[in-house]
Each structure stands twice: as C-alpha cells, then as structure tokens.
Amino acid sequence: MTEAKNYIEANKERFVNELFDLLRIPSISAQSEHRPDMQRCAEFLAAALVEAGADRAEVMPTAGNPVVYAEKIVDPSARTVLVYGHYDVMPVDPREEWHTDPFEPVIENGRIRGRGADDDKGQLWMHAKAFEAMCATGTLPCNVKFMLEGEEEIGSEHLYDFCREHRQLLAADIILVSDTSMISMDTPSITCGLRGLAYMEVEVTGPDKDLHSGLFGGAVANPANVLARLVAGLIDRDGRVTIPGFYDDVRELTPAEREAFNRAPFDAEAYKRSLSIGDVEGEAGYTTLERTGVRPSLDVNGIWGGYIGEGTKTVIPSKASAKISMRLVPNQDYRKISELFEKHFRAVAPASVKVEVRALHGGMPYVAPTDMPAYKAAEKAIEETFGKKPLPFYSGGSIPVISGFESILGIKSLLMGFGLAEDAIHSPNESYGLDQFYRGLETIPLFYKYFAEAE
C-alpha cells in the first residue's frame, strides 16, 4: 500500500483544490431553487469518478434528486465494497453568522471552511480520491461501487425505492460510510451503533369547547392538567420509561462492551458547563455516555394548549397536545414501540377525557457487530494511521437510511467517519481539518487491503 500512500502524498494538494470545486456547488436539497445545482453536483461527481478510474459512472434519476452510481470490478470473485455518501448539504442560515461565503471555501488555521466541508462532501471526496490512488497504482484489492445520494439531509425519501429497484446492481459485502465523527484525533473511534426513533403526537380533549375556569374549574377535567399528568407518568423516578413492554427487546451490552464503551473520555463537569445545567438526569445505573448511546429515551418535543397570549384569560381549554419522541436502541422496532405507546397512553387516560394518538414517523436503530470482518479491517487500518486502536462508539443520533440498507439490501454498514465535533456540521462556519482529510485518505486504502485479506 506504500504505492497508494506515495501517490496520495504527491497529489494531496490537487485533491483539496478539486474538493473546493465540489464545495462551490450550492447543492442545498431543502430548497427547490437549488434543483439545477443538485443535477450539476451529481454530474460533477460522476465525471470525477470516471476520471478516478471507475469502469462506469451514471447519474441515475429518482422521483427526487439523482443518485450517482459508479463501479469498478477488478475481480468478480473478490470482495465488493459499496461506498455510500451524500452530495446534498444543509441550508446556510443564518447567513450573517458565516465569516466567509459558505460556497467559496477557504483554508484557515489548517481547516477547510465551507458548507459541506465535512458533511458530507469532504468525507465522500476522501473516498473518491483514495479510490483514484488505488486505481492509479494498481493496488485496488476489492471491487468498488459508489452510491452517492442527494437527499440525505431531507430524509433520503427516494433512496429506499432506488435500493429496492437496484438490489442486484448494489450487491456488495459491506457498505462503507464516512458520514459520522470520531471522539477526537487522539481518541479515534468507529461508530458501531445508531439509535432509532419513534415519533408520536397526542391530543387530549376534555369539554367540547373552552370553558370559564371560574364556573367549571374543579368540576371538569382540564386537558392541559391531564396531559401534563400523563406525560409526567411516562417516566418514573429512576428515569425509566413506564410503558409496559418498552424494554423487552432492548439489547443489553455485555460487561466487556460496557467497559470498552465507557473508556471513551468524558468530562462530566465540562459537559454540564457546556450546557449550563446544574446536573445531569437519566436512567439510574447508567453513565451519561450509555444514556445517550445505548439506552432508549423518551422526550417531549413540544407541548401546547389553552391560552398562551399576553396577559390573562381564565379558561379551561378544550384540548391540549404534545409531540413525543422516543430514541430506540437495538433490537427495538419503532412500529412495535409506537403501538405499545398508543396502547399505554389510551389505557392510562381517565374517562373524563378523550385521547387521540398518532405515530408521525420512525426509523430503526442500527448496530454494527464489532466482530464482523469490515469492523476488524477498519480497526486495523485506523490503528495504523492514528497509532491507536479505535474505540467502538455508540452515537445517540440517527441515520435512518443505514438501517434501511440492512432491511432492503441485507448488507451491513461500516461507519468509518473522520469528522469531529468542532467541524460544526449543519451550523454556520462548517469546517473540516486538513489533517482529518489527509488521515482519512491514508486510512481508506488500508481498509481495502485488510478487508480483502480478512477471513
């Protein structure tokens, strides 16, 4: 692999300049005025992948933004890696908080600044260029396919159908994804778990109209009071969700997994300070890292009802509502959890009110087994370039499409991201460290090498 490494060393400045051209395309998927930019960005990537050495690359239409597909088959009997990434970016608002034009990238203090610098153009560009390095030096040991979508930031709506329609084309041994972060450059990590999501909305109705709280107060159920009581009852004093059956399918970490996970550096005092909170709160018996990474949770995301205008209005509202989300962990199924929630919420509601419960949307949790060959290969590759064995990391966030890949294509994903918290993805002044970019570039060919050799 020294050939690929030397090639990268000799060409790395050009790689950054090319990335700048990619960053200049304002491919904001959330805003329809950027529709032509999505097409332009997809064409840019398809052309770049052919130039890098792909046998073929296509801009494939979907009902939404196109998917870029490319492949290079070196040996039909070799392992196949499917690289997934996304070329769409988040809107730039608030624009005035950017120090420079979000779509005119600059390098400052060793960091590339611009929208998409990390998420996910910078990260996917490492894959395109590592691929080029392996092609140019004749050291590509696996077949490679690329699937780059333009709708990740708006929910990957059309990618599920794309996967269903192209199962054959997308067949692979592993999906390789760089769209996550590491703990730090000194503490490299591989994301091996993502939480799922079940999102509910509840409406509690009391009397059929708003009532005078003097004439009726104390005699009629107040939906706002009842809703507050019901919501508060969803979590007990130990921080556990009270919905019967909620924890039935939760996969408990083994003591060894817990030990490995909690080795990640975590400063509780700094955490509290950064959030201006007096103390943390959560499920008894678990650390904060565990609470956000491997334990399920339930939160009210919004709650409303009654008079909220200026001054006073003495009223018993007819209705009160709340939006409630539950973060799920393997092996909880969001459909089952949504049903359990609904059943429980109806069961605990008093006869004095009517309740309506709706499931708004959901996604499955994902876990990458740390004993799968791709994980082992990534562990070795990262250990070689970072000088330290990476820690397994469980992220509290969700990338719903990852569990979609598993259910539709039957392929596991390896989340080998090189982002850092300070990259400020989705925020003003998003950036990506040149050292992260180069280190990622160096790591990827090693991953291919160890994955090709793995048992």
Using CB under 5 A as the criterion, which residues of the chain lie in contact with Zn ion when the complex forms? 119-120, 179
| Whole-angstrom distance, CA of residue 195 vs CA of residue 328 | 5
At closest approach, how far in Å is the CB of 179 from Zn ion? 4
| Token reading at 367 | 């876990």
Q: How far apart are CA 39 and CA 36, in angstroms?
A: 5
In whole angstroms, how close is the CB of 110 to Zn ion at the nearest point?
Answer: 22
Q: Would you give the distance in Å from CA 131 to the centre of its chain?
A: 24
* Exposure string over 248-277, b if 16+ CB within 10 A, otherwise e: eebeebeeebbeebbebeeeeeeeeeeeee
Q: Which is nearer to Zn ion, 37 or 179 (CB)?
A: 179
User: Do 149 and 67 contact (CB within 8 A), yes or no?
Assistant: yes
Select 392 or 417, whichever has its Cβ closest to Zn ion. 417
Question: Closest CB to Zn ion among 246 and 432?
Answer: 432
* Helix or strand holding residue 205 (H, E): strand 196-205
Tokens matching residue 68: 């870029």
CA 51 vs CA 55, 132, 136, 210, 227: distances in Å: 10, 8, 10, 67, 60
CB of 19 or CB of 353, closer to Zn ion: 19
Closer CB to Zn ion, 119 or 442, in the complex: 119
CB of 446 to Zn ion, least distance (A): 23
In the complex with Zn ion, the residue whose CB is nearer, 71 or 119, is 119
| Residue 305 zone, left/alpha/beta (φ > 0; ψ -120 to 50; rest) | left
Instruction: Provide the minimum distance between the beta carbon of 196 and Zn ion in the complex, in angstroms, as a whole number.
Output: 17
CB of 311 to Zn ion, least distance (A): 45
Provide the minimum distance between the beta carbon of 279 and Zn ion in the complex, in angstroms, as a whole number: 32
Helix H segments across 353-433?
373-386, 400-409
